[in-house]
Structure 1
Amino acid sequence: MTINVSDAPIRSILEGVIKAGNMNVLIDDSVQGNMTLHIEHVTPEEVVDVITESQNLFYDKSGTVRYITAGRNHEREIKYYTWQLQYTTPEYVAEAVQAMIPAAKIKHHSLSNTLVVGATKREAQLINKLVAQLDKKPLQVDVSVRIMSIDRKALKKQGIEWDWSTWSNEGGSLFSWVGHIQALEEKGDAEILANPHIMAMNGQAAHILIGDRVPVAKEHTKQGEKTTSVSYEEAGVKLNYTPIIHADGSVTAAIEAEVSTPVLVPEMKAYRISTRRAKTVVRMKPDKTLVIGGLIGKEEMEHFRKVPLLGDIPLVGKLFQSRYKTSKETEVVIMLQARPIQDEEQNTVATELFPSIEGGDKDKGI
């Protein structure tokens, strides 16, 4: 392409070059004035670059449709903009901004949860979009938990045998035992120990403890001598639940369940802890109930009987007394349902952008 014009309107020259080069460029009304241009053997793109550089025009090539406007130096002027964050931390957003615009001057204030960035107007527009993506109200899930103690013999009669190796993230055995357990509850073979609800934030672990702290005996050996100390530990049912919430309403949950049973050691007046654990990662749908089983325990009970009056006679009374032990296998079953909380305001972000006084821009916003 060859151009040879004298004192011609800049806008007309650009329009002719853009049309000849079949380019997608929008020329702002602010582009005015005349110029003289003599140039040979160049492409339309090179001509546009020469004109915008020599005439102090701003040429934005970032989008599918490019645009040219007056005041290139003005557009590159650094100003300071402020974002008041609502949900995330300024440190987190600052790291993302620095990765996107390495040259940006970034400051943050943790107490006021404020991010301050020195950038061009165009860069500030990009940062504003980034902040809108990062500063969102965290998703939450409402987890309904039912913890039950079930007679092991009754479970076997129902044909329930937990096989963790067959459980998959798509469901299967994880969700198929609800009807059987409800039948056992109706017959009195299952007892509800607790029925808590917890709110879990997306990606954050939530914890449940149904139990108490009990004195636990621990033996130590030092220089050949055995000593026993007592410390307090948590015993009962523990549940750790970490959700990842998906757009379709399903939840991928990392679940750790633990059942700790205190066993009394009479001579020490303390307990030893018998622990059963289960761990899985599963995808849950809102209308499905997840069942965690296989947490088997054994309860040993000591019984005492005597013949009235005769059993109380000194010395010979033992002849009319009897002691015996029985054991009962129980299984703790944990049933969970997860329901994501719908919040209409979760995607709203309140950000106010204020150019600095040094920037000289009186307009608020970008």
Structure 2
Amino acid sequence: KNLVASDTVTGNVTLRLKNVPWDQALDIILTTKGLAKREDGNVMWVAPAEEVAARERLELEAQQQLEELAPLYTEYVNVNFARASDLSTLITAEENNLLTERGSLNIDERTNTLIVHDTEEKIADIRQLVATLDVPVQQVLIESRIVNASTDFSKNLGVRFGAFKTKDSRSAVSSGSLNATTQALNGDDLEFDDRMNVNMPAGGLGGFGASSIAFAISKADRLLELELSALEAEGKGEILSNPRVVTSNQREAVISQGTQIAYQEASSSGATSTSFQDAVLSLRVTPQITPDDHIIMDLEVSKDAVGALVGGVPTIDTQNINTQVLVDNGDTIVIGGIYEQTKTNSATRTPFLGDLPYVGFMFRNKTQTNDKSELLIFVTPKILRDGLAAAL
């Protein structure tokens, strides 16, 4: 490097240093003599610390004067994906204001445009900031299946767990309704005996195979897969809905269905009016895409049902599940645990004959039912990469 010393730098210094880098030795000398250095490219300027501080102060004042005298321009910056109001708040934030004292920033909300009035340098800085932040937000397709499963349906629900630790990165391990297999890169399938598996597969109805919904969570070199084989039979289960919704990353999506219950409500004047109470099944999902393409989902499931009447106003029985899960892109999470139990007692009889002694029981019939059902919700998040049309 080239060293330039100020005319005010004088005096001698005696040092004895051994195996000390030159830059470290120079710093010791500068500190000892009350000097400071400033570098500009390949040139190092050395002067007393007070002189360096005074020069920097003069340069700053000169720069401020240039900004005050610099001409002002007006630039229209179009914002494509972000909100112009959000960017305006960021640009004019008190702790990081990009505008000069003479500059101004306005917003045209109709066209989502920033109107910047400032020096050419500041306009360039704002354009660079907008180009960095104004990018498309990743979209997530949320697919859900809402199934009302009875106890008979649950008996046909097949569950199989498989876990296998792979030490060879050239192989992949899976498990499902069949034996767990490892498929190497050469295409050969290696059969393994069942390990840590519980197998209760559902048989097909009338010779037809059961539908399959898979839920897999992979973490590093371990694979844990849950395969659900669910069979819908008449009177045993019902798919209530299969809604799909697209939402932005870290934006809440709401899927709901239900009814509004009407009831009469009297006012203080004696007049009556009709009011409505909501009883809905709702699913709230907030996805967050991680850098490695996993999806963190905040899930909230609420199921409302009509309860007893209190003062002529229906009450609402609520059930709620709130959880957070981490899944791979395209995997399915299964949420259960919302049960309903219905007990009924009924009796029928043939008039006159059912009241006869000794033989009347032949003309009477009593029925008792105890139905228990569980609400199962299957949620599958998928990151949209090739547009909405391709995903749907």
TM range (shorter): 0.5 to 0.7
Say whether the 8 Å CA contact 1:259–1:332 is kept in structure 2.
no
Letter in 2 for 1:334: I
**Paired residue for 1:112?**
111
- Written as runs of structure 1 = structure 2, the 5 A alignment for 1:89-128 is 89-99=83-93, 100=96, 101=98, 103=100, 104-128=103-127
- Written as runs of structure 1 = structure 2, the 5 A alignment for 1:1-366 is 1=4, 23-24=40-41, 76-99=70-93, 100=96, 101=98, 103=100, 104-152=103-151, 155=154, 179-180=227-228, 182-185=229-232, 189-215=236-262, 231-263=275-307, 272-307=315-350, 320-322=363-365, 324-342=367-385
CA deviations 1:162-221 (Å, max 9, x no partner) are xxxxxxxx889xx979534x245479854322111111222222111122222368999x
Say whether the 8 Å CA contact 1:216–1:273 is kept in structure 2.
no
Distance 1:127 1:203, change over 3 A: same
Letter in 2 for 1:254: D
SS in structure 1 of the partner of residue 135 of structure 2: coil
Distance 1:106 1:195, change over 3 A: same
Letter in 2 for 1:179: E
Say whether the 8 Å CA contact 1:146–1:194 is kept in structure 2.
yes
TM-aligned CA deviation for residue 123 of structure 1: 1.9
> How many residues get paired?
277
Provide the C-alpha distance between the structure 2 equivalents of 1:286 and 1:186, rounded to a whole number of angstroms: 31
Letter in 2 for 1:24: G
SS in structure 2 of the partner of residue 179 of structure 1: strand
- In terms of fraction of residues, the more helix-rich structure is 1
Letter in 1 for 2:295: V
CA deviations 1:6-64 (Å, max 9, x no partner) are xxxxxxxxxxxxxx9863289xxxxxxxxxxxx99579x96xx79x96xx9x89xxxxx
Distance 1:110 1:140, change over 3 A: same
SS in structure 2 of the partner of residue 239 of structure 1: strand
Letter in 2 for 1:342: R
Bigger RCO (CA 8 Å, 6+ sep): 1
Question: Structure 2 length normalisation: TM-score?
Answer: 0.56
Provide the C-alpha distance between the structure 2 equivalents of 1:344 and 1:24, rounded to a whole number of angstroms: 48
Distance 1:229 1:261, change over 3 A: farther
Query: Bigger CA drift: 297-306 or 331-340?
Result: 297-306
Over the matched positions of the two proteins, sequence identity in percent amounts to 22
Say whether the 8 Å CA contact 2:99–2:122 is kept in structure 1.
no
Provide the C-alpha distance between the structure 2 equivalents of 1:217 and 1:75, rounded to a whole number of angstroms: 73
Provide the C-alpha distance between the structure 2 equivalents of 1:250 and 1:331, rounded to a whole number of angstroms: 29
Say whether the 8 Å CA contact 1:235–1:260 is kept in structure 2.
yes
TM-aligned CA deviation for residue 115 of structure 1: 1.1
Provide the C-alpha distance between the structure 2 equivalents of 1:83 and 1:326, rounded to a whole number of angstroms: 69
Letter in 1 for 2:329: P
Question: Structure 1 length normalisation: TM-score?
Answer: 0.59
Say whether the 8 Å CA contact 2:99–2:118 is kept in structure 1.
no
**Paired residue for 2:11?**
none
Distance 1:140 1:41, change over 3 A: closer
Distance 1:157 1:233, change over 3 A: same
Query: Bigger CA drift: 299-308 or 196-205?
Result: 299-308
Q: Which runs of 5+ in 2 are unaligned?
A: 8-36, 160-216
